[in-house]
Amino acid sequence: MRPGILFNPTGSGRLALGAWVSAMMQRVLVLNATYEPLSIVSVKRALILLLKEKAELIECAEERLHAARTSLPVPLVIRLVYYVRIPRQVTMAPSRRSVLLRDNHTCQYCGAAGSHAILTLDHLLPRSRGGETTWENVVTACRACNMRKGDRTPDEAGMALRRRPGRPHYLAFLLLSEAGGRHAWGKYVFTGAEA
């Protein structure tokens, strides 16, 4: 195959140069050796890191990039094989937008996904009982679940959380909000232990 041809393994064969250019313009999430989000790079840069064996492929698209003597999948997520130290002193206060982003616009009680307009923020320990607006005390909730929980804690209301809330990686948040993120990136960007 000629260089610059994108092969689609789903049966439609080779795609035109335009599809190849489209694949090369996609963005790739780079993880640190510890699987923490580090940056977003072009497909070209990701391929260079993979070919130089400075990174390993974690997630890829179905399409493949073909050159004269090699064929590589289009990377979506790569992981560096060496650790890069990240400064930890930057913190970010929770806001409505950032909590919705952390929780992937999904109610943390029933799992309903919704638009910005139908989702609310819920304080696990209600503000009327001294609860503060912190990463560990605020979750995304649909209106129905928020009304059902009312002025109680989730335990008192008999409502289980799908994921325990936690402080997200600051860098991950910047990356996701800048690039819009990809579905494959979600499990590497969102933090918080499973409930």
Which residue pairs, CB below 8 angstroms and at least 24 apart, start in 42-45? 43/74, 43/75
Confirm whether pTM is higher than 0.85. Answer: no
Interacting residues of 34 by C-beta distance below 8 A, sequence separation 6+: 83
CATH 1.10.30 in the chain is located at: 96-178
Q: Among 23-32, 85-94, 107-116, name the most confident range.
A: 107-116
Q: What is the pLDDT of residue 5?
A: 41
d(Cα 188, Cα 173) in Å, to the nearest integer? 11
Enter the DSSP assignment of 152.
S
Across 105-116, average pLDDT: 87
Closest CA to 191 of 99, 113, 107, 117: 99
Q: How large a percentage of the chain has pLDDT more than 70?
A: 70
The tally of CA atoms less than 13 A away on the side-chain side of residue 26 is 23
pLDDT tens digits, 124-152: 999 999 999 999 999 999 999 999 999 99
pLDDT tens digits, 37-49: 888 888 999 999 9
Q: Crossing angle, helix 43-51 and helix 17-24, to 10 degrees?
A: 80
Q: Is the pLDDT of residue 192 over 70?
A: no
| CATH class of the domain defined by 96-178 | mainly alpha
Full 3-state SS string of 48-114: HHHHCCCEEEEEEEEEEEECCCCEEEEEEEEEECCCCCCCCCCCCCCCHHHHHHHCCCECCCCCCEC
Interacting residues of 96 by C-beta distance below 8 A, sequence separation 6+: 121
d(Cα 118, Cα 114) in Å, to the nearest integer? 6
Q: What is the pLDDT of residue 173?
A: 58
Q: Which two tokens stand for residue 135?
A: 């990463």
Q: How large a percentage of the chain has pLDDT more than 90?
A: 37
